């Protein structure tokens, strides 16, 4: 794959903004990568479509090809999409006992994940946990949970033969209340495929159990099928989050993207093995990198961006240190100030200048003034901007009139420019300027 990408990127070496063609070519490779990672076809298609709109027209960082830039944009979008915004990564277990319902297909890793989560809550959060298996079809499955419970030092509900899943759920709730437990895990029975009987049973359990969380456990190695599973469970039972298991295997974990896309629910945990501590909270950055499988390119673009910014800051600082601070520089600074929330915003960012913001405002040093100053500079010729010393009285009159302002205001601007140029010179020598410029970029 990287060979194929290499050839595409070789063809796309022109700089500037990303054209539609650049984006389309690169996204074709990205699409292949997503499908190879087992992202379901419709999800891959929708994702690509959304990224295409966002990427077209974006700037290409120096020394990076458009294709590489697109990959970086795709990566960032993937991270953003997988992470969601501000979703808590901890389970909601306030107001005990909190019931957590575990659902999913047979063999997806429900029972194992139940025990892993229980161990985590006990060891890390000091919670008292009760486990209950509702898998009435397979006595061995109930034993399995009890054995794991013993292994991790967590109580499990005594097994009573002949009960239905709903009956066990009721008994478990009562026991959790009476026993003073913080968390109750209900490990449901799975089926090999989605079927009505399974869904009806899980619904009935849900209605009795009133779970705080309903976690869908999905095998990270399943691809296309994961979408159907997630759609069904979310529609019929309603899930609050997803656990992706077998991420220790060779699979690229495209199911994560599919799950997120079809349910809109966060991926909460990732299973990384059979052992009881092989569970991690979900990290979008890591999983995105794995799905896309283009970590080198992403790192390369990030590095290029950093280098570019450092070079830019260096160049500006050097100019200023030499006293090269003309009206174009001032205009750029003024515009930058406007962009960054005006005077107040800027002063707050510069080291040691926070307190000056109020004084400056009081002295009429505000955003309206910034706009007037920009208008004055716009009214100057190219030559005048490059060399403000040219500004004799007649020129001043013309410039002020052009901006619809007084000559007095222009004089204030010139005085300020002089002061700033001197300050820049001093700061540039100290290296403080480079810091300030970098912060502004
Ligand atoms: P259930 O039918 O959904 O309850 O699935 P189980 O919890 O019984 O798991 C089925 C098999 O998958 C077991 O052999 C587990 O040890 C294994 N398993 C579960 N999670 C993981 C994981 O994250 N990685 C690996 N490699 N195996 C896992
Ligand atoms: Mg099980």
Choosing among 3.40.190.10, 1.10.260.30, 3.90.870.30, 3.40.50.1110, the CATH entry for 322-440 is: 1.10.260.30
116 lines ligand 1 (CB under 6 A): no
Closest ligand relative to 142 C-alpha: 2
Give the number of the atom of ligand 1 that is nearest the alpha carbon of residue 270: 23
Tally of CA atoms within 13 A in the half-sphere of 369 that contains its CB: 15
Pick from 104, 108, 112 the residue to mutate for probing ligand 1's pocket: most ligand atoms within 8 Å of its CB.
112
Strands 213-219 and 241-245: parallel
Residue with CA nearest ligand 1 atom 28: 274
Dist. CA 165 → ligand 2 center (Å): 13
pLDDT reported for residue 3: 45
pLDDT reported for residue 315: 78
Annotated ligand binding at 105? The verdict is yes
Q: What is the pLDDT of residues 323-364, one digit of tens each?
A: 788 888 888 777 767 766 665 555 555 555 555 556 666 666
Give the number of the atom of ligand 1 that is nearest the alpha carbon of residue 220: 23
DSSP letter string, 213-269: EEEEEEETT--HHHHHHHHHHHHHT--SEEEEE-TTSS---THHHHHHHHH-PPEEE
Dist. CA 102 → ligand 2 center (Å): 10
The hierarchical CATH code for the domain 98-281 is 3.40.50.300
Strands 267-271 and 241-245: parallel
373 lines ligand 1 (CB under 6 A): no
Dist. CA 108 → ligand 1 center (Å): 6
SS3 135: coil
Residue ranges of the chain assigned to CATH 3.40.50.300: 98-281
Q: What is the pLDDT of residues 205-250, one digit of tens each?
A: 999 999 999 999 999 888 777 888 899 999 999 999 999 999 998 8
What architecture is domain 2-83?
Answer: Up-down Bundle (1.20)
389: DSSP letter: G
Query: What would you report as the CA-atom Rg of the chain, rounded to the nearest whole angstrom?
Result: 31
Residue ranges of the chain assigned to CATH 1.10.260.30: 322-440
Residue ranges of the chain assigned to CATH 1.20.120.140: 2-83
Could you list the pLDDT tens digit for every one of the 441 residues in the chain? 444 444 444 444 445 788 888 899 999 999 999 999 989 899 999 999 999 988 888 888 877 888 888 999 999 999 999 987 666 666 777 788 999 999 999 899 999 999 999 999 999 999 999 999 999 988 899 999 999 999 999 999 999 989 999 999 999 999 999 999 999 999 998 877 778 888 899 999 999 999 999 999 999 888 777 888 899 999 999 999 999 999 998 888 899 999 999 999 999 999 999 999 999 999 999 999 999 988 888 888 888 888 887 887 787 777 777 778 888 888 877 776 776 666 555 555 555 555 555 666 666 667 788 889 999 999 999 899 988 888 899 999 999 999 999 999 999 999 988 888 887 777 766 666 666 666 655
**Sign of the torsion formed by the C-alpha atoms of 275, 285, 262 and 71:** negative
């Amino acid at each position: 794959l990287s060979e194929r990408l290499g050839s595409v990127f070789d063809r796309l070496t022109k700089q500037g903004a990303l054209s539609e063609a650049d984006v389309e070519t690169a996204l074709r490779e990205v699409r292949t990568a997503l499908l190879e990672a087992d992202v379901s076809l419709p999800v891959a298609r929708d994702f690509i479509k959304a990224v295409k709109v966002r990427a077209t027209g974006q700037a290409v960082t120096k020394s990076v090809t458009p294709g590489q830039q697109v990959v970086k944009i795709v990566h960032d979008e993937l991270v953003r999409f997988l992470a969601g915004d501000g979703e808590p990564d901890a389970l909601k277990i306030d107001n005990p006992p909190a019931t957590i319902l575990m659902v999913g297909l047979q063999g997806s890793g429900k029972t194992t994940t139940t025990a892993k989560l229980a161990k985590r809550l006990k060891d890390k959060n000091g919670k008292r946990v009760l486990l209950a298996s509702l898998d009435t079809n397979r006595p061995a499955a109930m034993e399995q949970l009890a054995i794991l419970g013993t292994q991790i030092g967590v109580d499990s509900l005594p097994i009573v033969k002949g009960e239905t899943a709903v009956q066990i759920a009721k008994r478990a709730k009562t026991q959790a209340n009476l026993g003073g437990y913080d968390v109750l895990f209900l490990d449901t029975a799975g089926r090999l495929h989605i079927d009505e009987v399974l869904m009806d049973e899980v619904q009935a359990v849900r209605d009795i159990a009133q779970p705080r969380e309903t976690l869908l456990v999905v095998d990270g190695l399943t691809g296309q099928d994961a979408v159907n599973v997630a759609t069904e469970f979310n529609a019929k039972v309603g899930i609050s989050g997803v656990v992706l298991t077998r991420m220790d295997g060779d699979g690229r974990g495209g199911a994560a993207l599919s799950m997120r896309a079809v349910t809109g629910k966060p991926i909460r945990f990732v299973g990384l093995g059979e052992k009881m501590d092989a569970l991690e909270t979900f990290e979008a950055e890591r999983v995105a990198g794995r799905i896309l499988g283009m970590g080198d390119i992403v790192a390369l673009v990030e590095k290029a961006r950093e280098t570019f910014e450092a070079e830019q800051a260096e160049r500006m600082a050097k100019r200023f240190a030499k006293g090269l601070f003309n009206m174009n520089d001032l205009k750029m600074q003024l515009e930058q100030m406007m962009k960054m929330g005006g005077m107040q915003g800027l002063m707050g960012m510069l080291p040691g200048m926070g307190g000056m913001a109020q004084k400056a405002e009081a002295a009429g040093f505000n955003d309206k003034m910034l706009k007037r100053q920009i208008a004055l500079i716009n009214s100057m010729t190219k030559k005048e901007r490059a060399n403000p010393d040219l500004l004799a009285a007649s020129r001043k009159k013309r410039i002020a009139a052009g901006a619809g302002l007084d000559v007095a205001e222009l004089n204030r601007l010139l005085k300020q420019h002089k002061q700033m140029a001197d300050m820049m010179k001093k700061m540039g020598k100290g290296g403080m300027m480079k810091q300030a410029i970098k912060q502004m970029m």
